[in-house]
C-alpha cells in the first residue's frame, strides 16, 4: 500500500460501500432510537447511565464515533432552555458589538454570508461569566468529549448564525487535515490521516429550534471511515454523492449534535424568510496537541534572519539548506490563531511563520521590514 496517497487514489465507489452501511439500535444499548442512521440519545438516560457504568457508556460512544455511523444527537440536553436563551443573548450582544469592525470569514462558506463569532468561548466568559458558568456546567459536554478524546481535552467554540436565505456550505471534513490543501494533505502519510480525526471532536449546541427548512447540518453517516477522505472532499464525484445521500435531522433548542471531525458534513441552506438558525459550534481538542517545551519561534527567526539573508544573498546556502533551516526554526502551522484578526480570507489556513520567512528570503526583504512583518503576524494571532 502507498502510505503517501495522492488525489488520483480516491475511489467514490469504495466510499459509497462504506457510507451505505446500516445501523442497528441494538448495538447502542443506551440509545433511544436510530433516525436516518443517526444514533439518538435522551439526556436523562445518559445521565443515569453515567452514574451506573460510565466506562461502558463511554466505550459505546467511542465505538459509535470510530466504527459506527460517526454521529449522534442528544435530545433535551438542556432541560431549562432559559439557560440557552440567556447565552444566546450574550452572543447577540457580542455580534452587535463586533459587527462594525470584524470581517465575518468562514472556512467553507462565502465570507459575510452568515453571522459568526470566532472564539465564542473566551468572549462569552469575559462578557458574562455568570451565563458562561451555568451554560458550560452541563456535564454531558464533558462526558461525550472524554469518550472520544480521553481526559484533559481543550475546548474551543465558534457561534454560527445562518440568516434567512443563507446558503449551504460545501461538504467537507474538519480540522486538522480538513483545513489543508490536497497538496499539503498528500505530504502526510496515511497513518497521520487516520490520526487527524482522533485529535478533535465536533459538536454543536442548538440555540434555536431547527426544523428542516432552516437548514440543519447535512450529514453523511459512516463517511469518516473512508481513509482517503481528506483528499476526496473537494472532488466533484464525492460532492455529488454527498448531495444525493446526505441526511438532515431537525433539532430542538437545547439538543446536542456531536460527530467525528472526518464525517463529511455541511451547514444546510436556510430556506425560511424569517428564522435565524443559531448554533454554538464546539471543537474539542486532544490534550496531546502540544509540544513538550515552550519555544518562542518568533524570537528565533528574528535572531536568525540577518545571517540567513546574508547567506542566501551570497549563495552560501542552497535551496535544500534554506528549507531545512526554515523547517527547524519557524512555526509551520497556522493554528491556533485569532480568526477575527487573522481570518482565512485567501484559503482556509492563515500564513505560517515558515511561509513568512521563506517569502522574505526569496524577496530579499530588508531586516527592518522582516521585523515589522513578524510584529504584524504576532498581533494578528493574539486573542
Q: Is the pLDDT of residue 106 over 80?
A: no
Residue 292, pLDDT score: 81
Across residues 208-221, what is the average pLDDT? 97
Q: Is the pLDDT of residue 1 over 80?
A: no
The Cα–Cα gap between 252 and 77 comes to: 10
Residue corresponding to grid cell 471532536? 201
pLDDT tier, 347 (very low <50, low <70, confident <90, very high otherwise): confident
Across residues 72-98, what is the average pLDDT? 96
Q: Is the pLDDT of residue 243 over 60?
A: yes
Q: Is the pLDDT of residue 107 over 90?
A: no
CA angle 57, 120, 110 (to 5 degrees): 105
CA distances from 77 to 19, 136, 242, 251, 316 (A): 28, 12, 29, 11, 63
Q: Give 325's strand partners.
A: none
pLDDT tier, 112 (very low <50, low <70, confident <90, very high otherwise): low
Residue 103, pLDDT score: 56
The answer to whether 313 touches 365, Cβ cutoff 8 Å, is no
H helix intervals, the chain: 12-19, 43-66, 81-98, 120-127, 129-136, 139-149, 182-185, 190-196, 229-232, 236-245, 297-313, 319-329, 353-362, 367-381
Percent of the chain with pLDDT over 70: 96
The Cα–Cα gap between 228 and 237 comes to: 14
Per-position DSSP letters for 188-231, written without gaps between them: S-HHHHHHHTTSEEEEEEESS-B-GGG-PPEE-TTGGG-TTHHH
Residue 95, pLDDT score: 95
The Cα–Cα gap between 215 and 212 comes to: 5
291-335 pLDDT tens trace: 788 889 999 999 999 999 999 999 999 999 999 999 989 999 999
Indicate yes or no: pTM above 0.75. yes
Amino acid at each position: 500500500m502507498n502510505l503517501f496517497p495522492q488525489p488520483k487514489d480516491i475511489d467514490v465507489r469504495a466510499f459509497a460501500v462504506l457510507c451505505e452501511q446500516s445501523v442497528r439500535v441494538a448495538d447502542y444499548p443506551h440509545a433511544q432510537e436510530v433516525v436516518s442512521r443517526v444514533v439518538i440519545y435522551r439526556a436523562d438516560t445518559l445521565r443515569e447511565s453515567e452514574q451506573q457504568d460510565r466506562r461502558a457508556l463511554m466505550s459505546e460512544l467511542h465505538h459509535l464515533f470510530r466504527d459506527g455511523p460517526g454521529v449522534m444527537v442528544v435530545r433535551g440536553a438542556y432541560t431549562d432552555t432559559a439557560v440557552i436563551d440567556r447565552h444566546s443573548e450574550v452572543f447577540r450582544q457580542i455580534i452587535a458589538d463586533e459587527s462594525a469592525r470584524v470581517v465575518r470569514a468562514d472556512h467553507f462558506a462565502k465570507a459575510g454570508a452568515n453571522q459568526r463569532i470566532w472564539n465564542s468561548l473566551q468572549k462569552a466568559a469575559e462578557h458574562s461569566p455568570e451565563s458562561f458558568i451555568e451554560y458550560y456546567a452541563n456535564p454531558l459536554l464533558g462526558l461525550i468529549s472524554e469518550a472520544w478524546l480521553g481526559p484533559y481535552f481543550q475546548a474551543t467554540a465558534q457561534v454560527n448564525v445562518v440568516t434567512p436565505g443563507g446558503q449551504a456550505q460545501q461538504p467537507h471534513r474538519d480540522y486538522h487535515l480538513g483545513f489543508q490543501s490536497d497538496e499539503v494533505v498528500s505530504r502526510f502519510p496515511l497513518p497521520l490521516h487516520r490520526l487527524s480525526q482522533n485529535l478533535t471532536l465536533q459538536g454543536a449546541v442548538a440555540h434555536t429550534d431547527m426544523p428542516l427548512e432552516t437548514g440543519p447540518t447535512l450529514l453523511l453517516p459512516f463517511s469518516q471511515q473512508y481513509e482517503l477522505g481528506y483528499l476526496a472532499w473537494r472532488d466533484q464525484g464525492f460532492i455529488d454523492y454527498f448531495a444525493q445521500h446526505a441526511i438532515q435531522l431537525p433539532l430542538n433548542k437545547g439538543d446536542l449534535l456531536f460527530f467525528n471531525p472526518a464525517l463529511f458534513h455541511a451547514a444546510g441552506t436556510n430556506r425560511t424568510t424569517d428564522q435565524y438558525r443559531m448554533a454554538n459550534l464546539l471543537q474539542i481538542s486532544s490534550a496531546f496537541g502540544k509540544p513538550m517545551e515552550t519555544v518562542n519561534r518568533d524570537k528565533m527567526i528574528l535572531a536568525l534572519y540577518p545571517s540567513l539573508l546574508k547567506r542566501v544573498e551570497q549563495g552560501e546556502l542552497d535551496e535544500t539548506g534554506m528549507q531545512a533551516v526554515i523547517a527547524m526554526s519557524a512555526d509551520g502551522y497556522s493554528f491556533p490563531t485569532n480568526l477575527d484578526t487573522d481570518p482565512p480570507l485567501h484559503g482556509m489556513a492563515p500564513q505560517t511563520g515558515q511561509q513568512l520567512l521563506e517569502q522574505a528570503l526569496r524577496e530579499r526583504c530588508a531586516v527592518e521590514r522582516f521585523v515589522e512583518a513578524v510584529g504584524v503576524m504576532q498581533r494578528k494571532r493574539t486573542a
